[in-house]
Structure 1
Amino acid sequence: MKEIKIDGRAIGPAHKPYIIAELSANHNGSIEKAFETIEMAKKAGADAIKLQTYTPDTMTINCDKEDFQVKGGLWDGYKLYDLYKWAHTPFEWHKAMFEKAREIGITVFSTPFDESAVDLLEELDAPAYKIASFELTDLPLIKRVAQTGKPMIMSTGMANYQEISEAVTTARENGCDELVVLHCISGYPSPVEQANLATIPKIENDFNCIAGLSDHTLGTVVSVASIAMGASLIEKHVTMSRAEKGPDSEFSLEPQELATLCRETEAAWLSIGKAGYERKPVEEASMKFRRSIYFVRSIKAGDAISKSDIRRVRPGYGLPPKYFDELIGKRVNKDVDFGDATSWELIENDN
């Protein structure tokens, strides 16, 4: 699989990286903040803004038992239901958010967390779907999404080979012909030393798909580095300001950082090129500063060249240094001066 298309934009190794700005819960319950973030993502150069489509009731149940309590990490102390109640994007906002994104010219789609979310997103004609890491093992959901026939993006946080394989197989057997699989570490934030970007080309090879990265590390370094490992798509959480303390703000990029990500991932992609030893156009002007062999003493026609008559120096208009020993003892066929470049035209023919 060389490329797929989302909303007309080609994605794959032959195209600049596709950047998804993940809004997630960083609207902090304000649709105006959501609109502002969509506009920011467009201005920063992202290709798409991505939502998350769920309610607390489609995500979990309102239960106080210990199983439903978050212990440790960014959301320590929350009951799952309360966390998702705080973080969700209301279903009734979606139409306006889709319209806003389309109005300003940025692709918009979402991560559905159950079939009712897929139904809503189909009504809004979402151009693609994202499967979250935590839902990668929800094969019935993957089946429903695949049956839309839309491009799918899957994150693989926490998943082993078998789980990824089952998800990919389910998607393909149910109508998904355009698939991107994202390497992902489900830590919030994830330590740089656990990013394990070497997995990206393995994903591409093992599952015959376009590979990318869903990045939860702080900053942009890991995302930029992933391009050299073959990532064709980068997903990163974004926020207008980490100081606003939204559910995901701690590991989200602020506007200037998102702009840097878009700029530097494209530069990293451009820098890869293709393997080979061909001289690049920019190097042509430097050729004259290579070393070559010059006369450092004036000698007369018919004189034999001695070791003290020539040197290997810059610039590069004379014979290459590899001929230095071969020139010793050769006779010149005309007078030469100090600073003349050597050439075979100055050397008497032995024959």
Structure 2
Amino acid sequence: MSITATPADTSAEIDPVTVDSARIRPIGSKLVGPGCPVYIVGEIGINHNGSLDNAFALIDVAAEAGCDAVKFQKRTPEICTPRDQWDIERDTPWGRMTYIDYRHRVEFGEDEYRAIDAHARKAGIDWFASPWDLPSVDFLEAFDQPAYKVASASLTDDELLVRLSQTGKTVIASTGMSTPRQIRHAVEVLGSERMLMCHTTSTYPAPTEQLNLRMLETLRREYPNVPIGYSGHEIGLQTTLAAVALGAVFVERHITLDRAMWGSDQSASVEPGGLQRLVRDIRVVEAALGDGIKKVYSAEKAAMAKLRRVPGNLATLPQPAAAS
């Protein structure tokens, strides 16, 4: 696999001993995988509620917190909305309207995404999206996406997976609401060499007892050549930090300006102050994890001289002869 991208934090040193090249994926100009800084995405989704001002504010929030990217969702409403739901009326902040009209109301078009692209570039942060249908992939290809995300709801859409694999970009696949056989099939369709997989529980918000973070270890064993990340929908930050401690190389959390705002994803999202703390603490946790090789740090030597009464000589004992 040829990799020409730079690390997620260009000021960070990547230890060649800890980097597993089979599990490294490029996302734009950055590398994601074991031995690289955790790649952090602020999932805007449709929390902008159809407002460019909200979208710009959320981009700024993510950039200021130190996220690597923000992510949106792109749908063709007539394709993604079941026909029997089109005419169902619902109350919205814009008055009572049919569900299909609501889906159009929160969907951005080309002009809006051109503005989003310019704003993200100015803020110094990448953006990409989860396309939910084939026309949406074609739409997003015009913006030179650094990666694509497969929403958990789309993991069984083979036609969409094939189209995404044809783009040649890294494809990040969430595994919520999916069985082991469905996950395996999606990997076979996408091809493991270009994908990154996220453990996910698709409830909004997700109860703590349903997060099943040990699935990160299970997925690493099952897919040894695929980097494994975490897409969380829970309330709170501790469990996302636990996912990083368990080895997640990619983290995605929904973000919002205010969890009390109207919208189905707002309550499972992280507000600006929480996002600042989350990014800060992820960097602390990944720095604390180290490389797993036991060593005596130079800073320990003063304490050793002061506190260790018996120096010990095990380290200098001759090694037993090898059996003939």
TM-score normalized with structure 1 length: 0.76
SS at match of 1:130: strand
Deviations 1:153-172 (A, max 9, x none): 00000111110111111111
Contact 2:74 2:107 in 1 (8 A): yes
Mapped contact 2:86–2:99 kept (Cα < 8 A): no
Aligned amino acid, residue 129 of structure 1: Y
Confirm whether residue 30 of structure 1 aligns to residue 30 of structure 2. Answer: no
Instruction: Give the counterpart letter for 1:235 in structure 2.
Output: E
Question: Is the 8 Å Cα contact of residues 52 and 111 (structure 1) preserved in structure 2?
Answer: yes
Structure 1, unpaired ranges of 5+: 71-77, 293-318, 323-351
Aligned AA (2:258): S
Kindly indicate whether residue 71 of structure 2 is the aligned counterpart of residue 54 of structure 1.
no
Higher relative contact order (CA 8 A, sep 6+): 2
Shift of 1:29: 1.8
Verify: 1:181 aligned to 2:197, yes or no.
Answer: yes
> In 2, distance between residues paired with 1:162 and 1:80?
33
Change (3 A) 1:65 1:108: closer
Moved over 3 A (4+): 78-92, 319-322
Contact 1:21 1:48 in 2 (8 A): yes
- Whole-angstrom CA distance in 2 between matches of 1:2 and 1:209: 5
Does the 8 A contact of 2:86 with 2:100 survive in 1?
Answer: no
Q: 1:199 to 1:54 in 2, by over 3 A?
A: same
Q: CA deviation at 1:61?
A: 3.2
Bigger mean CA offset, 158-167 vs 266-275: 266-275
Which residue is 2:260 aligned to? 243
Counterpart position of 1:201: 217
Aligned amino acid, residue 123 of structure 1? A
Q: CA deviation at 1:274?
A: 2.3
1:160 aligns with 2:179: yes
Identity of paired residues, percent?
34
Q: Does structure 1 conserve the Cα–Cα contact (< 8 Å) formed by 2:77 and 2:100? A: yes
Q: Which runs of 5+ in 2 are unaligned?
A: 1-21, 91-96, 314-324
Give the letter for the 1:18 counterpart: Y
Correspondences of 1:6-21 after superposition (within 5 Å)? 6-21=27-42
**Which of 91, 95, 119 is matched with 2:138 structurally?**
119
Pairwise CA distance, 1:69: 10
Q: Which has the larger radius of gyration?
A: 1
| Cα distance, 1:204 vs structure 2 | 2.1
Asked whether 1:281 is paired with 2:302, we answer no
Taking the TM superposition and a 5 Å limit, the aligned residue runs for 1:121-136 are 121-136=140-155
Q: 1:116 to 1:199 in 2, by over 3 A?
A: same
TM-superposed CA distance for 1:83, in Å, is: 6.0
- Is the 8 Å Cα contact of residues 47 and 107 (structure 1) preserved in structure 2? yes
- Change in Cα spacing, 1:28 to 1:287, as seen in structure 2 (3 Å) is same
Q: Secondary structure at the match of 1:243?
A: coil
Count residues with an aligned counterpart. 285
Match of 1:266 among 279, 283, 291: 283
- Secondary structure of the equivalent of 2:45? coil
Cα deviation for residue 15 of structure 1 reads 1.1
Alignment RMSD: 2.4
- Please name the residue that 1:100 is paired with: 119
Cα separation, partners in 2 of 1:65 and 1:238, compared to 1, 3 Å: closer
Aligned-partner Cα distance in 2 for 1:286–1:55: 64
C-alpha contact (below 8 Å) 1:63/1:81 kept by paired residues? no
Cα separation, 2, equivalents of 1:187 and 1:80 = 21
